[in-house]
Structure 1
């Protein structure tokens, strides 16, 4: 495999100013597939003659494949040029997504999603490191933040648009929409990302997982996993939970999902500011109590679209704001290992999404959609206990 031999300076005229935003758009494109099917589960289930809980496993399979295959592929392509690795990721993702769009059976849809997830799992970390290499050192944090904003954009805009489209034309139309996003992103990468980008020496798999020997890191990651399992149990089955309010309308569901994503953007920014003032532990505790209260109140509002929108907006303030305090706390345990710790944090989010499909599916089978909120609220309170344990471990070890 060829290695990268030509460094690209941030001031080089060959580096397009649009390179970093285009990488962010790429993350938006590959993350939309991960979130958009949450609004399509009832239609997906109807198409294949399976229950909504069974259809929800498409989210589990996608997220688990991202968590497992992403680090492996990133290590395998570590010595490739960054653009070559990115284009491979887009190609694999597009191949899997096209397969999902034409899948004649649910098992083949799951297999296609595994392929697509491999592309997503590779694209995101490579896009983040490439963005950092395209700018001056003092702007690297901002560049990575811009790229990872693609996840929030996928939640706020990609998923609602895809849900509305699927409501009008069917779930396969939603998948073709995601394919189109990937193709646009791939063409933009070819045009705007340099052939050679200088990046730090790559870590092997052993270096990537070495921090897991530290029980403080494990406790902090466990908190992230449990907290976001609570959030994504709600998000994965949002169509089923709010079916009484939306009447099965893809357009109304899209409004709910857009509200959730748009408010989450503001909430995430506010959480960052609050972390600097009071610390990540207190912000995390506030978010988890807030989330648990909102989730427990879900059965009170799902008969009314207006009340549902209001509660979703209230929930969104805290639900997707927990990543910021958790990353602050995690990096604080060992600042020199910040890139590896952030990578582990991203992987554990995929694990949380995977668990949400299973836990939410079981909750629907056992309690019905009305009981999902109570189950998710209990998980959020469990995450609060885990957060406090992680804090005590960090403090006892001088972290």
Structure 2
């Protein structure tokens, strides 16, 4: 079982590295393609936005396809997008190649989460989701810094070839180790979006959107908001981002066992609340290296600890729509990443880069309110006469 979860994790590691590493090589791409840095930033936005918009459409169109085939196809499309990014020489085609990579990511990630749930018994679901999610958080700790070093030593195109190799390796691992898992019943796009009519699902997705808009409003401009301690030194910034990524890995893995034992709402509110306090202190903590390191570690741990309980909550609300709900949640997360460039820029204009934590704090407080609303609705539904909560009837894969 763990070998199968590992190859899914390798795939999410490739997706996460692709999503995060472009920010580290953005200046090099800007110079190479002879476009402004702000225009080059669209490469990040188009990847995230394409992922967010395409994911529910793709999952609806491919419902009849076995999940193993979908996983391999998603990573192959991701690899192809990166090959094109590395070999094209004009900004327009390069931008289109990032959209293609986003399509691959949008196909792979929600399928990987639902497949992980199918590989284990219901009481292990939280740990399985955390294991797969660790690929994304590990990408921030290892994949992105390593890709940045490769780009610095061998050119930004080499970084994209590195991501391509990760995607191909993940696809090969899935082809060899993953069992055949049945396709989900074919349903229309209207039916796939039906879970959004459930207010419990809607407020949970809103929690994801608001929380990660707050998290990434700061992350997108971390170089500017922490420039007092980095002094513009890229190595110092890389070390700080590595600390953030290590915290993200700790949070993703550590919350797995907790979410199998404690209410998801309590975990979400606690984690977001701690990051809110952390952000409130950022104007002071970001001015000293030691305090900045602590702030980034706490931010990484608690920020990424939010994802698994949100996924667990969505599966519990509507087990029969687990794949759809997880796909919508991933879309909300990537919409937040796409929006963060705009919200971060607005925050810098309004309050300045060093106060950006206070601006992101607004979104975190709204996320706590949305989570509490979802908790109230879930509680009332569970207490309604005749309601019986069962374990999610997710198709089981054969065990090793």
Contact 2:63-2:183 at 8 Å conserved across structures? no
1:92 shift after superposition: 1.6
Contact 1:41-1:237 at 8 Å conserved across structures? no
Per-residue CA deviations over 1:49-103 (Å, capped at 9, x if unaligned) read 6665544433221111112222322333333344433332222211211222234
Per-residue CA deviations over 1:90-134 (Å, capped at 9, x if unaligned) read 222112112222343444332111000101111223334445556
The answer to whether 1:174 aligns with 2:177 is: no
Which residue is equivalent to 1:160?
145
Which residue is equivalent to 2:9?
24
Cα gap change, 1:45 to 1:79, in 2 (>3 Å): same
The answer to whether 1:225 aligns with 2:221 is: no
1:144 shift after superposition: 4.7
Q: Map 1:1-399; keep pairs closer than 5 Å.
A: 18-48=3-33, 52-131=37-116, 143-193=128-178, 196-275=180-259, 279-395=263-379
Contact 1:53-1:362 at 8 Å conserved across structures? no
Secondary structure of 1:386's aligned partner: helix
CA distance in 2, matches of 1:332, 1:391: 12
Contact 2:110-2:326 at 8 Å conserved across structures? no
CA distance in 2, matches of 1:143, 1:283: 17
Which region of structure 1 is more displaced relative to structure 2, 68-77 or 151-160? 68-77
CA distance in 1, matches of 2:112, 2:351: 41
CA distance in 2, matches of 1:168, 1:370: 31
Contact 1:40-1:163 at 8 Å conserved across structures? yes
Cα gap change, 1:163 to 1:372, in 2 (>3 Å): farther
Task: Compute the RMSD of aligned alpha carbons.
Answer: 3.1
Cα gap change, 1:266 to 1:140, in 2 (>3 Å): closer
Which region of structure 1 is more displaced relative to structure 2, 313-322 or 298-307? 298-307
Scaled by the length of structure 1, the TM-score of the pair is 0.83
CA distance in 2, matches of 1:50, 1:240: 21
CA distance in 2, matches of 1:247, 1:376: 23
Contact 2:229-2:288 at 8 Å conserved across structures? yes
1:231 shift after superposition: 0.8
Per-residue CA deviations over 1:210-238 (Å, capped at 9, x if unaligned) read 11112232122112210111112222222
Contact 1:164-1:253 at 8 Å conserved across structures? no
CA distance in 2, matches of 1:117, 1:123: 10
Cα gap change, 1:272 to 1:146, in 2 (>3 Å): closer
CA distance in 2, matches of 1:335, 1:126: 15
Contact 2:127-2:257 at 8 Å conserved across structures? no
1:137 shift after superposition: 7.9
1:239 shift after superposition: 3.0
CA distance in 2, matches of 1:46, 1:294: 35
Cα gap change, 1:283 to 1:91, in 2 (>3 Å): closer
Runs of 4+ in 1 over 6 A off after TM superposition: 135-141
CA distance in 2, matches of 1:360, 1:131: 34
Cα gap change, 1:243 to 1:82, in 2 (>3 Å): same
Which residue is equivalent to 2:389?
none
Contact 1:96-1:112 at 8 Å conserved across structures? yes
CA distance in 1, matches of 2:306, 2:113: 20
Q: Which residues of structure 1 form unaligned runs of 5+?
A: 1-9, 11-16
